[in-house]
Structure 1
Amino acid sequence: MSTVYKHVYGPVPSRRLGRSLGVDALTFKSCSFDCVYCQLGRTTNHTVERREYVPTAEILDELRRKLAENDRPEYISFAGSGEPTLHSGLGEIIRGIKAMTDVPVVVFTNGSLLWKPEVRADLRAADVVIPSLDGGDAALLDKVNRPEPSLSFDRIVEGLVAFRDEFPGRLWLEVMLLGGVSDDDASVDAIARIAERIRPDKVQINSVCRPPAESWALPVSASRLLEIRERFALPNVEIIAEHLDDMAHTAFRTQIREEDILALIERRPCTAAGVAAGLNIHVTEALKHLEMLVADGKAVTQLTDGQVFYSACELREEGK
């Protein structure tokens, strides 16, 4: 019987990190933002409280056992179902990983808490930090990210700038753009000016490619993304886009039987969290498999009350 992990998942294929071993240090949907494009639906625990959401010792024990399986990932990444910097033991966990392995550590963060010196200190031991900046002014950030009310735009930006000054590792700034909302020249230029202040090693321009929490969170066309890239004066600006590369995903597809997922979503529509609970896997793993089924034309999505539900296509051939 395979070992069941609650806080560690994968390795899963990542378009930026190759095979990434994920660490989820939060309870589901605990976040300081409530982003309109989030593929996991609306935030249910909207908070800026830093605490030990799940036991630090449990996370480190799972990582130790997972790494002992000798399935070496290319990165160990903090992401999952909430904002990693909310966990008060994040620094201890990163340092603990560094004592176990030389696999580089990546933290995906919305950047909202980098104004706190203790958060910047916790992240300093990571190899790569990928914060996001989705709006160049308070109004746009409020519309796209819906931050917890105590957070201010100016404080978030100053935190990003301060972190760049202190962080010895690689900083990749992700910019998520929405069609008809933040892809106009003025909005892009405002973000680009702040990016120049932050001085990241890389800017990664992204757009919606998964079913979002709000139906009006629309993707930006590929041609427009190319135009937007040219509006950034920084030297290393790239467009990242979700893609399902067969070679990268072949091994991952074999980890969970497609038939088991389809059996769940044929009976009734399920969220990614529902599929994860039904198959006893992590929600991020479930989401990856569901995205593949949608790409293969075997599943469809429907947005209901801010939650994305997956169901099997009705016209599946007999025996397929």
Structure 2
Amino acid sequence: MFSGRVFGPIFSRRLGNSLGVDLVPFKTCTYDCIYCQLGRTTNRTLERRAFFPVAAVLDEVEAKLAAGPPPDYITLSGSGEPTLHSEIEAIIAKLKERSQIPVAVLTNGSLLYQAEVRRALLRADVVLPSLDAGDAELFNYVNRPHPALSFDQVVEGLIRFREEYAGALWLEVFLLGGVTAIEDEVRKLAKWVELIKPDKIQINTVTRPPAEEFAFSVPEEELHRLAPILGRNAEVIALHHEVAAQGKTWIQEQELFNVLRRRPVTLEEIAAGLGIHPAEAAKRVQELLATGKIKSTKVGSIIYYLLANQS
């Protein structure tokens, strides 16, 4: 459905106006996190490959930059784990050659135990890894990593990367109600955070429908209570006004219908109109196609979507 690798700029809670760059196919990841807003991982792997040609990625970024005002960041992120792209080092280097816009990498940090991955990210301006559990048991429960990936590898990789990396390191800690948002578990996390020494600790929780119904959000006041345990530079980034009730769809039908009512639109236009990632828009579009509320039509090689009662 969506063939482009560059999306936005869209507003990011952490990076302002961010031009996103998808470096891997949809849901190609080292983890299968129970809280992921994009659903279950379909290709859980540790194999690094050049999924998309470097030149094609750069051409799409340049086209996007030429089409509008400059974003605050060019962010390598998207619908999977960007460090699985074996040419990410070259992509970062060439982005910095062609633009003055800072480059950020939004990663789960799981491959930083590999020296070549650490080296690949050294030229990024900001690296935003994550750590969601303080021990192996909860790491396996929350992140559901590839079987060959261990908790010790992940935390040791984060510590080593901090020792080698001179840029800004912002560590996301994703807390889940009844699981990791327990004071004893947060204290376990804090011990690792102290060793990792991030510049910022950004605390998050479920604010959109997760991959699993048993991944529960944490109330905002509880996040603020737990934040000081993680460190003086900890901040709560979860926006609870985004939280939908468990079981409800984050992208409300009416919002999507309002976009479709104007004219037939592409998936990329839906994503831009709603300010969401194209993969998230694709998931919702597929649900509405299945129920017959919307339909698709093809003009040349481009697929457009419109309301089912719209001609």
Matches of 1:63 and 1:5, distance apart in 2:
14
Q: For residue 192 of structure 1, give the secondary structure of its aligned residue in structure 2.
A: helix
Cα deviation, 1:68-91, whole Å, max 9, x if unaligned, reads 224210111111110000000101
Q: Which residue of 2 aligns with 1:10?
A: 8
Deviation at 1:186, TM superposition (A): 1.2
* Residues 15, 243 of structure 1: 8 Å contact kept: no
Cα deviation, 1:236-274, whole Å, max 9, x if unaligned, reads 1100013679xxxxxxxxxx985344799xxxxxxxxxx
Rate the CA distance shift 1:309–1:38 in 2: closer, same or farther, 3 A. Answer: farther
Quick one: which amino acid aligns to residue 238 of structure 2? Answer: A
Matches within 5 A, 1:261-280: 261=260, 279-280=266-267
Deviation at 1:283, TM superposition (A): 8.8
Rate the CA distance shift 1:310–1:220 in 2: closer, same or farther, 3 A. Answer: farther
* Residues 135, 187 of structure 1: 8 Å contact kept: yes
Moved more, 43-52 or 279-288: 279-288
Cα deviation, 1:209-232, whole Å, max 9, x if unaligned, reads 010000010100112111111212
* Residues 256, 270 of structure 2: 8 Å contact kept: no
Residues 1:23 and 2:10 aligned together:
no
Deviation at 1:185, TM superposition (A): 1.1
Quick one: which amino acid aligns to residue 100 of structure 2? Answer: D
Specify every segment of 5 or more residues in structure 1 that has no aligned partner in the other structure, as ranges. Answer: 246-255, 265-277, 291-300, 302-307, 315-320
Matches of 1:122 and 1:137, distance apart in 2:
27
Q: Which residue of 2 aligns with 1:236?
A: 233
Cα deviation, 1:123-177, whole Å, max 9, x if unaligned, reads 0010000000000000001000000000011011000000000001000000000
Q: For residue 230 of structure 1, give the secondary structure of its aligned residue in structure 2.
A: helix
Matches within 5 A, 1:47-196: 47-196=45-194
Deviation at 1:61, TM superposition (A): 1.1
Matches of 1:42 and 1:76, distance apart in 2:
26
Aligned-residue CA RMSD in angstroms?
Answer: 2.9
Matches of 1:231 and 1:219, distance apart in 2:
19
Equivalent pairs counted in the alignment come to 272
Matches of 2:34 and 2:57, distance apart in 1:
29
Matches of 1:136 and 1:34, distance apart in 2:
18
Matches of 2:258 and 2:74, distance apart in 1:
29
Rate the CA distance shift 1:126–1:183 in 2: closer, same or farther, 3 A. Answer: same
Deviation at 1:288, TM superposition (A): 3.6
Deviation at 1:310, TM superposition (A): 6.5
Matches of 2:65 and 2:122, distance apart in 1:
23
* Residues 80, 284 of structure 1: 8 Å contact kept: no
Cα deviation, 1:106-126, whole Å, max 9, x if unaligned, reads 101001000001000110010
Q: Which residue of 1 aligns with 2:206?
A: 208
Rate the CA distance shift 1:283–1:69 in 2: closer, same or farther, 3 A. Answer: closer
Specify every segment of 5 or more residues in structure 2 that has no aligned partner in the other structure, as ranges. Answer: 243-254, 278-283, 294-311
